[in-house]
Chains A and B, each alone.
Chain A
Amino acid sequence: MNQHGRFGPTRPITLKILRYKPGFIDPPRYDTFQVQADPLMTVLDALEEIKATADSTLLYRHSCHHASCGTCGMKVNGREQLACVARLVDEGTDEVVVEPLGSAPLVADLVVDMTPFALHMAPSGMALVRDSEFMPEAERPAGVERYTRYEDCIECNICLSACPVANTNPGFIGPAGLAAAYRALVTGERPAAEVFAYVDHDDGVWRCHSAMECSAVCPSDVQPGHKIMALRRELVAYKVKRFFKRG
């Protein structure tokens, strides 16, 4: 029953979506919807189609549609992705399960509360800027001293959702917050002592057990797991140096 869509042949894909509305759909349940997916249809495209044609009460967050705002992170077949760039057919399954991110309080349907994420990011002074790595030869308009570039991190909460520790311990600063702290350290944005004071405790850099799943799922190549490890190396070196200075 393949039809031809805008971008090639379509095939029917069932979306199994977690639904939750406090007091109405409570406890949560899964609803299924069928869409005709062409090769380029993303999870977000499907959600928008469902909302427009089947169930206008479906709730999800989105903004830019091109992986730069970090708003539409969700679990697609159990793995965190940005819905706007996750193609349905790439999943390779006839049924695609769509669930809200973990490690964040569920608000409704696919919407989670981003407050805890923001609270763990804020102390590092995000968003940081760094020197542009592109086109050093580019001409600068009058009045522009230098080109800068925002951090890679798009603050989507995907790393925290994939982190086994953050799932059970909301007090853990988490991959994004620790990666931001590392950036604050290496860019000199914050004094080293201040950064280390912020991360050197049970719920800081030492809570990480190196599962590295944050790096594996990060849609923006921040590699937070790698940054946490690097932050530890700097911290241990700092402590060793301080120990010998004192002694």
Chain B
Amino acid sequence: MAVPIQQKSTGARALQAWFNPLKRSAGFLAFVLMRVTGIGLVIYLLLHMVVIGNLLRGPEGWDALVATMKSPAVLVLDVILIAGILIHMLNGIRVTIIGLGFGTSSHKGIFWTLMAVAALLLAYSGWLVFTK
């Protein structure tokens, strides 16, 4: 009893494999996180370099800009940035260690441990960002 359903293209699904950790295991999630945070951090680096260029505009220009950076919306972005840095940094330690062939058999444990550290540091940084 063959029942054809809707037509669905299978093309261009390869790229989706970079960003879809569903049905995959811890290492794959680490890969996706590394890629997403990496791309985000490169964009941030470029933006950051442009933003700090405003220092050339002297005290008035800079201090006015910094004032706008204290809005809660920007602080939330700060926390997202810190999360990206922590995930990328700690995951990078995992990639470096196992990428050189050490601790490969416990790579999942290493990943979850480092992500737990990231969560703790993020909670602490978040608290600092919103209270200091």
B25 touching A233, Cβ below 8 Å = no
- Given contacts A33-B1, A230-B101, A232-B101, whether A211 and B28 have CB atoms under 8 Å apart is yes
**Which of A22-30, A39-47, A128-136, A140-148 is near enough to bind chain B?**
A22-30
B5 touching A212, Cβ below 8 Å = no
Residue B68 lies at the interface, judged by CB distance under 8 Å to chain A: no
A168 touching B27, Cβ below 8 Å = no
Which chain B residue has the least Cβ–Cβ distance from A213? B28
A164 touching B7, Cβ below 8 Å = no
Which chain A residue has the least Cβ–Cβ distance from B10? A28
Measured between alpha carbons, how far is A103 from B9 in the docked complex, in Å?
Answer: 16
**A118: chain B residues within 8 A (beta carbon):** none
Main secondary structure of the interface of B (DSSP, over half): mixed
Q: How many A-B residue pairs have CB under 8 A?
A: 113
**A230: chain B residues within 8 A (beta carbon):** 101, 104
Measured between alpha carbons, how far is A231 from B95 in the docked complex, in Å?
Answer: 15
A78 touching B10, Cβ below 8 Å = no
Measured between alpha carbons, how far is A247 from B10 in the docked complex, in Å?
Answer: 53
**A106: chain B residues within 8 A (beta carbon):** 10
Measured between alpha carbons, how far is A115 from B28 in the docked complex, in Å?
Answer: 26
Measured between alpha carbons, how far is A18 from B6 in the docked complex, in Å?
Answer: 11
Q: Which of A27, A32, A215 contacts B9 (CB 8 A)?
A: A27
Q: Which of A27, A209, A225, A229 contacts B7 (CB 8 A)?
A: A27
B9 touching A28, Cβ below 8 Å = yes
Which chain A residue has the least Cβ–Cβ distance from B5? A30
A29 touching B27, Cβ below 8 Å = no
Measured between alpha carbons, how far is A225 from B24 in the docked complex, in Å?
Answer: 14
Contacts of B86-107 to chain A: CB distance below 8 A = 94-95, 98-102, 104-105, 107
- Chosen A-B contacts, 28 in total, with CB atoms closer than 8 Å, are A16-B5, A27-B8, A27-B9, A28-B8, A29-B4, A32-B2, A54-B1, A54-B2, A55-B2, A79-B23, A106-B10, A164-B17, A167-B17, A167-B18, A209-B34, A210-B98, A211-B24, A213-B25, A213-B31, A216-B28, A225-B27, A229-B99, A229-B100, A229-B104, A230-B101, A233-B101, A234-B101, A236-B100
- Interface residues of chain A, those whose CB is within 8 Å of chain B, are 16, 18-20, 27-34, 54-55, 77-79, 99, 102-103, 106, 162, 164, 167-168, 209-213, 215-216, 225-226, 229-234, 236
- Interface residues of chain B, those whose CB is within 8 Å of chain A, are 1-11, 13-15, 17-18, 22-28, 30-31, 34-35, 94-95, 98-102, 104-105, 107
